[in-house]
Amino acid sequence: MRVASVWACLLLASILGCQATGAVLVNVGEQQYELPRHRVVQQRKQGAPSDSYGPTLLTWTRAEVSAAIPGFIDEAEGVVYNFDTQLYPGFDGSSEPKRDSYLLRGDFAGGVVEFDQAAQLYKIYRRIDRDRWDLLTVPPNPSDVSSQPANHLLIADCAKPVGFKHALCTTEFQYRGNNVSVRVLMQNLALRNEIFAFIRRELDGAYRGVLPKAR
């Protein structure tokens, strides 16, 4: 464990100038957060285009998550899945990509629709990939021509890693105008509201305000 900790710190050092203790200031868009150094796995370059470096990546320990979210599952088939959260600055509000599964178009054209009794959600599979699917609260409706966004209908997009029985799902919410994405085992989607509340509390405690505009 000691060797692993040193290796992790060396990895973080290349990104943040890692130290064993202390906090780091993280800028997400025009906002600033003060977070423990061990929490920040990757910090997005300030002012970088959205596709040039990736999001700010945060993580929490198993003990922290299990204490805050009773019933949370982070291990399946002997594999432990980190509780990782990605922060993307800003949100353009575009609903088009998220409407594809609801309207059965794009990658979902001709896809298979199943109702998951355990989750009480609809699984919409891509036409050529049965190892990936979206989860909706309602069945798809290709004839829906309304302009209302379908974002609220999409619970998560999921995938089953090769050789595994359990799926990993990515679910999202908005926080102070930013997009927050978290990946969990599908069984945890029943705790979706608790997961979001936990992350919001953590970010609320770390929030340090809006950065002054450059002159």
pLDDT for residue 80: 83
Query: What distances in angstroms separate CA 140 from CA 65, 82, 128, 146, 192, one per listed residue?
Result: 34, 32, 18, 13, 22
Encode 109-145: b = buried (16+ Cβ within 10 Å), e = exposed.
eebeeeeeeebebbbbbbeeeeeebbbbeeebeeeee
pLDDT for residue 214: 67
pLDDT for residue 52: 42
Mean pLDDT by 10 residues, the chain (215 residues): 32 38 86 93 63 74 91 86 86 64 91 91 90 92 74 86 86 91 92 95 96 77
pLDDT for residue 186: 92
Distance CA 19, CA 174 (A): 31
pLDDT for residue 164: 81
